[in-house]
């Protein structure tokens, strides 16, 4: 698993303080490393924020924008197991 850069953690410091340091690396998008904050199962907080890290800068995507962005990383929606 790829280590989350400190600048991404700094951008999500408000989440880390409340819920802990929980990131997943998703891969690359247009040259940027993509990280998603992963809430624990006990937390109901809407769509998880997505962080794009490129050239020493970070961009945070939230809400519907984050959801649409995450959708682009799902390979086959029919294969997703929904309980």
| Tens digit of each residue's pLDDT (9 = 90 or more) over 1-48 | 689 999 999 999 999 998 889 999 998 999 999 999 988 777 777 788
Instruction: Give mean pLDDT, residues 69-73.
Output: 80
Between CA 53 and CA 61 the distance in angstroms is: 11
Which has the closest alpha carbon to 67: 54, 45, 42, 50?
Answer: 50
Q: What is the pLDDT of residue 83?
A: 47
Provide the pLDDT confidence category of residue 65 given band limits of 50, 70 and 90.
confident
Query: What does the domain layout of the chain look like in residue ranges?
Result: 6-76
């Amino acid at each position: 698993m790829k280590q989350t850069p400190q600048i991404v953690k700094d951008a999500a410091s408000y989440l880390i303080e409340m819920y802990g340091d929980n990131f997943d690396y998703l891969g690359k998008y247009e040259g940027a490393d993509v990280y998603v904050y992963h809430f624990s199962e006990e937390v109901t907080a809407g769509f998880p924020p997505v962080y794009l890290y490129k050239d020493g800068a970070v961009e945070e995507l939230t809400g519907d924008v984050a959801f649409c962005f995450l959708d682009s990383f799902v390979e086959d929606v029919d294969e997703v197991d929904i309980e």
